[in-house]
Amino acid sequence: MDRHKLLFNRYTDIVLPYQDKYRYDSTLELDTSVAEFVGYLSSWSPYQKFIEKNQQRTDVLEQVLIDFMTTLTSERKPDKTRLLFEHPTFLLISRKPES
């Protein structure tokens, strides 16, 4: 199964093999600056893979930063412009029964 599909479906397609199981859903909230958020995006694996394949396109996150600032219509610098980042998180836990 495509791992991106699993992620975007929030692991709902995964069937845990044992009776003793638990699912935890939450939202990660992060109060951050636009500059810090763009730095965070640079750490993402898909971005790193994109840069490996498209070495001439190292300006992508610079454009993201510009687009954020334009959308937010902020006159402050990116490191002084705050935003609240919310990201869904989920965890599946299952315990094998003792034999």
pLDDT digits (tens, 9 = 90+) for 69-83: 999 888 899 999 999
At 76, list the tokens: 């402050």
pTM for the model stands at 0.69
Instruction: Please report which residue ranges of the chain form alpha helices under DSSP H.
Output: 3-8, 34-42, 45-53, 60-72
Strand partners, 31: 84
pLDDT band at 8 (very low <50, low <70, confident <90, very high): confident
pLDDT digits (tens, 9 = 90+) for 11-54: 888 889 999 999 999 999 999 999 999 999 999 888 889 888 98
